[in-house]
């Protein structure tokens, strides 16, 4: 009998496996110290783990409500009030998602129609573009220039059109470690205020911010939050990226559309983890206040340990990523350099060009410093030898 196999005409022909999976696999193959994919090599709060086990033992093992369990949505509303002086409606404005990744995908899918234009700032997180493409949208990319990586509002207004349905921003920013100020949000509002353009604000590193003015959320901007979706991730805040629980906050009418996608993408997020997170938020509502000092110490440790190296370290105002310029060391393009670094030096990093479409004319790599000091020390020693 003839076997009929098909190769589907790809909806995402240019896309391969993500750089994070690729570099983590390469790091494992070559036994390199993995500072590529962003995840901590230490555990989150013990209480959170205990509560997860407890809720499982108490039978919280069936579907959660589609929008998230009530105590977690309540705790998120309280947290949002405490941090940003704004209380979203517990029932209509908060949706718990399978990590920030799902919130981003659901929001983009819900808002972007075929032919709509979407503006993002490059380098940009790798999940935005495929979601826009699958929705039939057209992505317009604005290149941020090192070392400051500030948005260029002139370039923005040139890209803006009456077809611009969505703007995607990310602060604190992965991978450039820069932070938007209130003035940036004002500039965005000035540009889009007169038209129906929505704003997706990826704020997963909201609590890992070292900038003097702190993190500014879209939820603090009275006009933009009326058309904004703020996305957050418990994975970053509680050092457990593998739990994949995040959420988005948006006005009721926008949330309603996001929920239409969410209910058929995942329907609901795992119940015991949501209940454990609700307990954690209630028991230690101010946990996040320790995060800047906690991560600043790791950032400064790594910067200090790299002092004798030939890398040039770029400023880092937020996230747990540090950018290094390697132009004094090698002429290789950044992807080749990261492969060489993993195989020959034993340190895995992320090339920045993968966050841009095509050419990225700078010699920059990203290191993750959410690691214990001995890990950072060992990596820095290797990096200082080249």
* 202 lines the binding site for ligand PMP (CB under 6 A): yes
Q: Which of residues 168-187 bind ligand GLN (CB under 6 A)?
A: 174
* 18 lines the binding site for ligand PMP (CB under 6 A): no
Geometric angle at alpha carbon 117, from 113 and 118, rounded to 5°: 100
Q: Tell me how far, at minimum, the Cβ of 84 lies from ligand GLN, in Å.
A: 23
* 68 lines the binding site for ligand PMP (CB under 6 A): no
Which option in ligand PMP, ligand GLN, none does residue 93 bind, with CB closer than 5 to 8 A by kind?
Answer: none
Instruction: Give the closest residue to 366 by CA, choosing from 331, 329, 316.
Output: 316
Q: Which residue is nearest to ligand GLN (CB)?
A: 38
Q: How far is CA 111 from CA 92, 158, 197, 200, 281, in A?
A: 17, 22, 10, 10, 30
* 206 lines the binding site for ligand PMP (CB under 6 A): no
The tokens describing 39, both together, are 């995840």
Instruction: Give the closest residue to 163 by CA, choosing from 144, 140, 185.
Output: 140
* 18 lines the binding site for ligand GLN (CB under 6 A): yes
Q: How far apart are CA 191 and CA 143, in angstroms?
A: 18
Residues 6+ apart with CB under 8 A from 205: 171, 172, 173, 174, 236, 318, 319, 320
Q: Which residue, 22 or 233, is less far from ligand PMP as judged by CB?
A: 233
Q: Which of 22, 34, 37, 51 binds ligand GLN (CB under 6 A)?
A: 37
Q: Which of 38, 88, 137, 318 binds ligand PMP (CB under 6 A)?
A: 38
Strand, helix or coil for residue 367: strand
Which option in ligand PMP, ligand GLN, none does residue 123 bind, with CB closer than 5 to 8 A by kind?
Answer: none
- Would you say the C-alpha torsion 292, 297, 298, 304 has a positive or negative sign? positive
In the complex, the residues that contact ligand PMP under the rule CB under 6 A are 38, 99-101, 125, 170, 174, 202, 204, 233, 235, 241, 244, 246
In the complex, the residues that contact ligand GLN under the rule CB under 6 A are 18, 20, 37-38, 174
């Amino acid at each position: 009998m003839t076997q009929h196999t098909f190769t589907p005409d790809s909806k995402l022909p240019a896309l391969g496996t993500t750089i994070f999976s690729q570099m983590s696999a390469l790091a494992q193959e070559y036994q390199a110290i993995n500072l590529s994919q962003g995840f901590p090599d230490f555990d989150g709060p013990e209480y959170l783990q205990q509560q997860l086990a407890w809720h499982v033992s108490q039978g919280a093992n069936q579907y959660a409500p589609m929008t998230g369990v009530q105590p977690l949505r309540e705790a998120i509303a309280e947290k949002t009030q405490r941090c940003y002086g704004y209380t979203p409606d517990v029932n209509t404005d908060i949706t718990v998602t399978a990590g920030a990744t799902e919130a981003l995908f659901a929001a983009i899918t819900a808002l972007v129609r075929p032919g709509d234009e979407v503006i993002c700032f490059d380098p940009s997180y790798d999940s935005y573009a495929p979601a826009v493409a699958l929705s039939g949208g057209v992505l317009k990319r604005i290149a941020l220039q090192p070392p400051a990586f500030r948005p260029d509002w002139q370039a923005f207004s040139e890209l803006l059109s009456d077809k611009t349905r969505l703007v995607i921003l990310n602060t604190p920013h992965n991978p450039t470690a820069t932070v938007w100020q209130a003035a940036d949000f004002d500039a965005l509002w000035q540009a889009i205020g007169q038209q129906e353009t929505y704003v997706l604000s990826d704020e997963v590193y909201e609590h890992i911010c070292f900038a003097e003015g702190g993190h500014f959320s879209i939820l603090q901007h009275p006009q933009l939050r009326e058309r904004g979706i703020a996305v957050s991730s418990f994975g970053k805040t509680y050092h457990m990226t593998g739990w994949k629980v995040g959420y988005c906050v948006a006005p009721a009418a926008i949330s309603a559309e996001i929920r239409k996608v969410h209910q058929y993408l995942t329907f609901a997020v795992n119940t015991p983890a949501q209940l454990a997170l609700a307990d954690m938020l209630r028991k230690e509502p101010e946990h996040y206040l320790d995060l800047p000092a906690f991560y600043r110490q790791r950032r400064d440790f790594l910067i200090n340990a790299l002092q004798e190296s030939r890398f040039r370290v770029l400023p880092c105002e937020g996230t747990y990523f540090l950018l290094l310029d390697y132009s004094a060391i090698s002429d290789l393009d950044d992807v080749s350099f990261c492969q060489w670094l993993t195989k020959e030096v034993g340190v895995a990093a992320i090339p920045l060009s993968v966050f841009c479409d095509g050419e990225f004319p700078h010699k920059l790599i990203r290191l993750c410093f959410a690691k214990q000091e001995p890990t950072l020390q060992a990596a820095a020693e290797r990096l200082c030898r080249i």
